[in-house]
Structure 1
Amino acid sequence: MTDKRPPFPPFTAETALRKVKAAEDGWNSRDPERVSLAYTEDSEWRNRDTFLRGRAEIVEFLRDKWRRELDYRLRKELWAFTDNRIAVRFEYEWHNHEDQWFRSYGNENWEFDENGLMRRRYASINDLPIAANDRRMA
């Protein structure tokens, strides 16, 4: 059985926005298994300086991420799109086990297969320490 994740490419402004919102909702669930289902079985990732391939590596990466990045909250914004690609900018807030808060900023480039699954995700991310009272996504 082939996994399918509408909307499918080629994207329009409306369908690209729906894809971005679905990604935001998925990641805000902080459920690694749920998030991984949006990617192809052999999906290729670069996240900061980490390179991953496949759903199993994605799930393990996300489990580790959300063990370290507590109370994670994400916002994504559509930046550009074309046939089967979407670019987004994002920011998210989280704190570590010492209760230091951070706002992380970044850009992602996505490429999708014909079934609407992401086959490539390349993310560049920078972290900014913030005070708890400077949070925007509480």
Structure 2
Amino acid sequence: MSRPPLPPFNEQTAIEKVRLAEDGWDSRDPAKVALAYSVDTRWRNRAELLNGRAEVKAFLTRKWNRELDYRLIKELWTFAGNRIAVRYAYEYHDDSSHWFRAYGNENWEFGEDGLMRARHCSINEQPIAEADRKFHWPLGRRPDDHPALSHFGF
């Protein structure tokens, strides 16, 4: 199984890989999203260490069961060879209707097959008022004409 675009990345293919990742996460489908990662992928997500696609799928299932109406924007920061760095922001609410915005950075490493074999993630989040939300598209893929992350100054 391969997951184009494949490394080594150029600017165009790195941007495409980032958008494909954003689209996948905005689907909130753990089984589909987990397929972008190698069977033996390694993750660091905040204080949680994950090993393997099955743990990633379980993590994403837990995440999207508690982070409701999740909407994410990712942006390429830099790339080289088989590595990509991104920054991102996402918004969600909990089951008590409290809204949050999270900001983060990720470092990705891909195998020759285009599957992500390592993900190192740092995230900060803050409560926001519903009126302060910026991501208002219908659930699912961010529309192409919706402002990107830099537009918001995040």
Answer yes or no: same fold by TM over 0.5. Answer: yes
Match of 2:58 in 1: 60
Inter-partner Cα distance in structure 2 for 1:75 and 1:115: 25
Shift of 1:100: 0.5
Q: Please identify runs of 4+ aligned residues in structure 1 that moved more than 2 A.
A: none
Task: Give 3-state SS (helix, strand or coil) of 2:63's partner.
Answer: helix
Equivalent of 1:107 in 101, 105, 108: 105
Equivalent of 2:30 in 29, 32, 36: 32
C-alpha deviations, 1:110-130, integer Å up to 9, x for none? 000000000000110001100
Inter-partner Cα distance in structure 1 for 2:130 and 2:107: 30
Q: What runs of 5+ residues in structure 2 fail to find an aligned partner?
A: 137-154
TM-score, normalised relative to structure 2: 0.88
Same amino acid, percent of matched pairs: 61
> What amino acid sits opposite 1:84 in the alignment?
N
- State the superposition RMSD in angstroms: 0.4
Residue-pair matches, total: 136
C-alpha deviations, 1:44-94, integer Å up to 9, x for none? 000111000111100100000001100000000000000000000000000
Inter-partner Cα distance in structure 2 for 1:99 and 1:13: 39
Equivalent of 1:14 in 12, 15, 29: 12
Q: What runs of 5+ residues in structure 1 fail to find an aligned partner?
A: none
TM-score, normalised relative to structure 1: 0.98
C-alpha deviations, 1:93-115, integer Å up to 9, x for none? 00001111000000000000000
> What amino acid sits opposite 2:129 in the alignment?
A
> What amino acid sits opposite 1:116 in the alignment?
G
